[in-house]
Amino acid sequence: MATSVFTLALPTTAAFGPLARPSATRTSTRRVPLRSLSVRAASSDAGKDFPAFAGVSVKQTELGECRVRLEVTVPVSVLEAAYAACIESCAETAQIPGFTFKKGGSRKKKEDHLPPADILVGSVGEKEFRSACVEEMLQNSIPVAMQTVAATALQDSERIETSFEDLAKAFGGKDCAPLGDLIYSIGVEVVPTITWTGDYRKLKITVTSPGDDETDALEAESIFTQQLRSLGTMRVVTGRGLTIGDQVVMDLDAVNAATGDSIEGIKQKKFQLDTGAARLNLPGLIDAITGMTVGEERTFPLTMPSDWPQDFIRGVTADFTVKVSELFQNEVPQATDAMASKIFPEATTVAEAKAMIVESQRENTKALLEQVTNEALVDALAAICDAPLPESIIEETGRQMYSEKMLEMQIGQKMSMDVINQLAAPEMVESYLKSSREEIELIVRRTVACEELFKLENIEVTEEEFKAEVLAAKAEFEQYGTEYDVQRLVAQAGEVLEARKALTWLREHATITVLPPVK
């Protein structure tokens, strides 16, 4: 259970080991919740096909930090059952002259016997047959072992700690027959035990409003200007350098001034910038390129801002290299009622377009204030939630957050595929997970705290609410032509609703003070 308030996250298929199942992949603008602390469902079919698997025994050891080790003892009788199953499966598919075998069916020619084990194993290959035996044993013994932690184990968190080579040694007898009992280990993450260090029913928060009527009006005027400039006519600039108001096409690159290392995500070819309308998150860039002519190259230092999307380069002094390839002057038209609908859809006059932009900006400010308030509430809740955090949840959450940051950068900055591929490189993701560890842990702690609140206060989601959320999520996936996993979509719908209701409960019980915006 989680909500879009908690994170800028899109689920990605992360590597959680051989027992994991991939999450849904979603690339629409719909915010997707964090993975909830869902408990692994117990299998009622564990060992059903081979009653001998009921002889599997499990020793549980608490490791702390939400981790448990299961020491699974598989008796030789169970290994023999797996071995026999593999013999029959291989006999059914192997092309051995003189033998035709079907499970539960008839045997022709030498009907009273399966093909000799040495011939059968030889035809398949010892390595392949031994691997099949190990897989058969695991598929039937893991569900039995996991029943011991079914109430607390996190979904998809189990990992086989024993190496495959050691597992295969159990089938090291003649013709890959079992040698004796096998003991192997499974590492599992479990739901954390939570202790509240304060009263979550009496939270007090103070937030700063992101805007008011004055700032909304200024922002609306800026948006109006941008829209009007987008309707202008471009003329090639000759005989002068760049002035503010021009549109420039340039190659852009940057290196860390201290180390000389290239800063990933900056390098772009034919980057387009409207210096009269752009709202750059890189102070000093426009001033540094003012006066440049077509073909000119210039290198200059800039300090990366504190709110740069990639936090590991925030505050870094970078040497930027820019080469101008094209330069245009924008002849901006006079605003008339005839172009009102192009400035803002459905507007019929310039005055109406301006008024509609102001109203839209007010709605944005209202939504931002709600988001800021929600984040402050869950931060306050997380601050009094003392609990260890499962490592697999931290890693998956971090990958989700990085994925959405990339998506936002791609949409907002119109990055090329080369830049996107640079940012998606494994080393970039790992760097983010390491440098943003504290932020990621806060996000996870929010999720843990809100889930516990939902349970403690017996908050409920109605069937009608659930169906509506599923349909809305499904429609958005289909709108963007994105593939999705139905099971995961349904789970996420429940998570979103639970988080939304938890936030509503917090708002109703907390004391909230809103300060005026900083100007």
Please give the CATH number for the structural domain made up of 51-189: 3.30.70.1050
Q: In this predicted structure, which of 115-124, 176-185, 204-213, 225-234 has the lowest mean pLDDT?
A: 115-124
Domain 233-331 class in CATH:
alpha beta
Using the predicted structure, report yes or no on whether residue 162 has a pLDDT greater than 60.
yes
Task: Give the separation between CA 7 and CA 128, rounded to whole angstroms.
Answer: 45
- Of 129-133, 205-209, 405-409, which range is least confident? 405-409
Q: How far is CA 362 from the centre of its chain?
A: 31
- The token pair at 518 is 């900083």
First and final C-alpha spacing in the chain: 37
Q: Read out DSSP for 261-311?
A: -B-TTT-EEEEEEETTT---SSTTHHHHHTT--TT-EEEEEEEPPTT-SSG
The answer to whether residue 84 scores a pLDDT higher than 70 is yes
Whether the CB-CB separation of 83 and 178 falls below 8 Å is answered with: yes
Q: Cα separation of 467 and 444, whole Å?
A: 27
- Grouping H, G, I as helix, E, B as strand and the rest as coil, residue 256 is strand
- Residue 517 CA to residue 218 CA, distance in Å, equals 13
Q: Which residues contact 167 (CB under 8 A, 6 or more apart)?
A: 134, 137, 138, 160, 182, 184
**Joined tokens for residue 176:** 């890959």
Q: How confident is the model at residue 278 (pLDDT cuts 50, 70, 90)?
A: low
**Average per-residue pLDDT in the chain?**
84
Model confidence at 277, pLDDT cuts 50, 70, 90, reads confident
Q: What average pLDDT does the segment 3-7 reach?
A: 27
Predicted confidence band at 22 (pLDDT cuts at 50, 70, 90)?
Answer: very low
DSSP 131-181: HHHHHHHHHHHHHHHHGGGTTTBBTT--EE-S-HHHHHGGG-SGGG---S-
Q: Are 402 and 309 in contact (CB under 8 A)?
A: no
Of 102-116, 216-230, 382-396, give the lowest mean pLDDT range: 102-116
- Give the pairing type, strands 511-515 and 204-208: parallel
**Counts of helices then strands in the chain (DSSP H, E):** 14, 15
Domain ranges of the chain: 51-189, 195-210+348-515, 233-331
pLDDT digit string, tens, across residues 429-464: 999 999 999 999 999 999 999 999 999 999 999 999
Structural class in CATH, domain 195-210+348-515: mainly alpha
Q: Is 257 left (phi over 0), alpha (psi -120 to 50) or beta?
A: alpha
